[in-house]
Each structure stands twice: as structure tokens, then as C-alpha cells.
Amino acid sequence: MRAFLIFFFIAGLGYFFLRQKQNETPPAASKPVANQSVAAKSTPAPLTPAPRGQASEYNYMKRALDRARDVTEQSRARTQEAQKP
């Protein structure tokens, strides 16, 4: 019986919430503001990637990838040096 009352209470709250959402009118002032901000914005410059090794201190994933690439290149260079006659 308790479970039925809890279910009924939650269903009632959901009904009133959905009913309130349907009756709300969107604010009229928001549309002109959005149109003004879109018109005021100029075309952003295309993003250019940072040079290798210049990753931000917070971009730990890019730093790790840069470090792995550097180590790979060093290893290849050492191997090529060792194979020269």
C-alpha cells in the first residue's frame, strides 16, 4: 500500500510538472538578443594547431603524444646512425 501511495505521489508531481511546462510561454526578449549576437559576430579565424612540443600545461594528453612522438623519432635516428657503415 505504501508503494502505491509513493508511486501515485510521484506520478502526480510528474503530471503537474509536465502541465506547467506546456503552459509556459517562451520569453519574447530572448529572440532579438540572439539575432543581434549572431549578426555582431564576425567569422572566426580558422584554428591553427600549436607547434609540436608547445602544448598547454593543462593539455596533458597532447603533451604525452608529443613526447611519445619525440622518443620514437630519437629511436629511429639512433637506429639509422648505428646502421651507417
The type of residue at 18 is: L
Question: Reduced to 3 states, what is the DSSP secondary structure of residue 64?
Answer: helix
Per residue in 19-74, pLDDT tens? 888 877 666 655 555 555 555 566 777 766 666 666 666 777 888 888 999 999 99
Predicted TM-score (pTM) of this structure? 0.35
Where in the chain are the domains? 54-85
Which candidate, 79, 77, 55, 58, places its Cα nearest to that of 66?
55
Residue 40, Cβ density class (10 Å: 0-12 exposed, 13-18 middle, ≥19 buried)? exposed
Task: Please give the Cα distance from 12 to 19 (Å, whole number).
Answer: 10
